[in-house]
Structure 1
């Protein structure tokens, strides 16, 4: 059996492009996680041959960020003003144009809170992925969803 090399992905200088892809918000974000869920539906016919089927995965991108209402272009203001709109997001864990990426069309959810108590005001927002995200390896190869081969 061949040993597969494992290269840890160190997240530093990440980039998050939101909207038209020209505004980069990494300085506002503490976490950007693309989370998928899927359930398996089991079925047992009278033959005793168990069967199951996995449902289509549902994805959400969870953003945690520092609040900033100083300008209409801040991430906080953009998320509040774009509630329920569909827009694009690109997450580049290692920044720049090269390297791995997560790209998706998302529906903007409700920002969790505005304001807060003592200390840094933070908030979160769930961006519901429309369809499936495209996850690419560092070399640009699409690794999800699986490419369809004839």
Structure 2
């Protein structure tokens, strides 16, 4: 068993995953974790863990740790429809990244202008047991959280 500390990829208000307005995330279909309602404006989305960029799309990325834990960061809901508008990648698929390293610059106002929800779900891919994810106090309280602060820990 390994424990991974997963950081908030963006600053904003910490949100329980069950409160995300998308059943794919709120029901844990993709995995369990937490979310951040991001600060408005242009924000840098960072790597929540150190590892290899397994998948990089303009609106989402997956980083796999050395222990094989895959963490998905999804920048907004239904943002795949934006075809990259509002997102600037700073790494490439296959790159090794360090927790805290900027992965994508995210223009939250562009997402909102399209009428989409800018919330950022962060989940451990394919994690089926919600008890393996322990959210930080900020998530339980719905508090503001800084980019790079602990969002949750995952035991796999």
TM exceeding 0.5: no
Which one has more relative contact order, counting CA pairs under 8 Å at least 6 apart?
A: 2
* TM-score normalized with structure 1 length: 0.32
